[in-house]
Structure 1
């Protein structure tokens, strides 16, 4: 068995600073996310139907996706030209200001939806720069042989945040939506301060050519490498169809009728399974048949989405979401490790940008797609048909990308 996380941090002190900074930041993102969805749904529910209110929550995803779509590829090129640490910090400053703005809106007597949508667009723009820079920064903080472990630990942070953030967010929402945003702002400030202490060089070697040429090189690399392209496109279409995040306020309020804390429990469901799986993978990394295990994880994601859509019991719904999170974590671990290992350092920013664009498309655009489908067939059938779509995508991709299916070990070139 590999060394303990503490020993790993001692060998890589800058990664430890990065890790410590990302814990409160990821928690803050989860608090902000659950609070925005809850607030938007209930503002809309005052004058609209269940289906229309779920659609308005989906609009948050669209507002975040549009700037991501426009800026992410340029952001990836930038991450291959200047300090990745600087990009990460300034992106997080923008997010912190956005959350502070949401707090000000929540303090209004009759808050409206439009300012929330505008700030959601700011989040999308900030994350367009944050995602490729943060992903490409990690390999500069650890050795190549320690990359799978670093990715597992980073993913564990994400899972802890998804578990703790919604629970804390649910408690705060019960007291005050403005308080939830205020605490999230404080967490952002603490995380930014820790990341500022990273001393390692995070500026990649200067590459020749103009940014447009470099962008074209990054796209060509992703398209030509079928393992990388297959992995990130599988995530895009599987989660685009199977994502049920936008439906959680509707299920908690009108289907399961469990209130804001029930909504927090549902939001924590994927993290329960994901955290258990990421912890297991941190100590027992995938050693063989990585491609097959990735496809099985995505298939489990789809099946669990169907069960969640059909469930009328809170605990069965949470259990289904936990299985969903565990399956997704297997896919995330394999995909991120494959991409970081096979991609040259001078191209990691651009490749991470393309990967981030696909992931953002599956998350933010997936929330919008789910909201649109829910508008016409209701949240239950939107979840069920989405899960079926994910299973279909898994089968098609397993056939269309044999190189990805045959990917074996993650500790070899």
Structure 2
């Protein structure tokens, strides 16, 4: 028998003070991050006109995470998660301020942008591990799927607002973009620091390789979680086109930084629509099959975007890709949280963060490399086809995921 759908209003969730504070802080921090990354990518391309350098920005954000992600997970299971996230946001505010000063004094260089990308890449695993492990502590398990969808809605609103606002502020100056993002980081840091939940410091124990690697072992021993997390890694690794959007904006679609802001925001528009729907009506049956179909739709939309020569059509296709990706994100993240005990959530979230980082930042580097050899259109089209093939392959390789019916 198919479980009854929970159709109660998301407004009920927003009345829960800790969750509301978490969501508002999440809006500010993600908006700031989107503005900062838009500014860095356009700033880099404006200085060098090189797709290779755009790829290097992604690589520089990914590599430090390899060294810090597992440690970040251990910290998320030992420390107050809200304060841990607040500290990460404060450090990013410092980085944005340094960028504004160096830009205003005309001392910013290609190497400086890459160096600060390394710093941001080292900080972000701590923030993501803390955020992912924090949300399940704020709501009861039966509301987690809808809370996850609501969190995704908030995230997509920020992803829409961040690049759009960044594009507008770019008309003033890139310094204005950097300073605004620094201010938003500071506000969000204060709010995260005051998120309240039942926190009891765990007993002290030595930090060992065994404790740090516990999350990786837990995922490796669970085929469902391994399949879900690795699906995102390979699908977005091949199908991500974000790093090449500045090239599309200038050379293919012939729009400026404002057009780039809209292109960066378009996937979030589709994600927002799907997230609002899923915050009202959760996916309750055949979740594994729907997850794999969503990934395939994402790949097809990326192929079509790669071939499009029209700005409006490109925006629509990116919106479709964002909607499909949101289904994947909500299903995967909810499965991960429900299948993981709280004492392990930080370390499992850290491994998930590593996979997300690989799919995004390393995917940006892959896009830059393939664009250098195949051209920007060839790179995007080939990546989209590869994503579809990944979806088909995972339906055969990870049967527990493909045949999973309910989230719980």
Q: Does 1:222 align with 2:227?
A: no
Q: Hey, what does 2:41 align to over in structure 1?
A: 37
Distance 1:202 1:156 in 2: 27
Q: Does 1:5 align with 2:10?
A: yes
Task: Quote the offset at 1:70 in angstroms.
Answer: 1.0
Q: Does 1:23 align with 2:33?
A: no
Q: Hey, what does 1:345 align to over in structure 2?
A: 342
Q: Hey, what does 2:356 align to over in structure 1?
A: 359
Q: Does 1:233 align with 2:237?
A: no
Give matches, 1:56-205, under 5 Å. Answer: 56-109=53-106, 111-202=108-199, 205=202
- Where structure 2 has 5 or more consecutive residues not aligned to the other structure, the ranges are 1-5
Task: Quote the offset at 1:18 in angstroms.
Answer: 1.0
Deviation readout 1:306-335 (Å, 9 max, x if unpaired): 111111100111111011101100100100
Q: Hey, what does 1:322 align to over in structure 2?
A: 319
Q: Hey, what does 2:255 align to over in structure 1?
A: 258
Distance 1:189 1:33 in 2: 17
Give yes or no for contact 1:105–1:111 (8 Å, CA) kept in 2.
yes
Give yes or no for contact 2:70–2:213 (8 Å, CA) kept in 1.
no
Task: Quote the offset at 1:14 in angstroms.
Answer: 1.1
Q: Hey, what does 1:50 align to over in structure 2?
A: none
Distance 1:209 1:101 in 2: 36
Distance 1:345 1:211 in 2: 19
Report SS of the residue matched to 1:408. Answer: coil
Q: Hey, what does 1:379 align to over in structure 2?
A: 376
RMSD between aligned alpha carbons? Answer: 1.4
Q: Hey, what does 1:49 align to over in structure 2?
A: none
Deviation readout 1:60-103 (Å, 9 max, x if unpaired): 11110011111101110121122212211111111111111111
Report SS of the residue matched to 1:175. Answer: coil
Task: Quote the offset at 1:154 in angstroms.
Answer: 1.0
Task: Quote the offset at 1:338 in angstroms.
Answer: 0.2
Give matches, 1:302-313, under 5 Å. Answer: 302-313=299-310
Distance 1:255 1:308 in 2: 11
Give yes or no for contact 1:58–1:368 (8 Å, CA) kept in 2.
yes
The TM-score with structure 1 as length reference comes to 0.95
Q: Hey, what does 2:209 align to over in structure 1?
A: 212
Task: Quote the offset at 1:207 in angstroms.
Answer: 7.5
Distance 2:263 2:176 in 1: 21
Report SS of the residue matched to 1:3. Answer: coil
Q: Is 121-130 or 98-107 further displaced after alignment? A: 98-107
Q: Does 1:244 align with 2:241?
A: yes
Report SS of the residue matched to 2:127. Answer: helix
Distance 2:234 2:397 in 1: 14
Distance 1:364 1:23 in 2: 22
Q: From 385, 390, 394, give the equivalent of 1:388.
A: 385
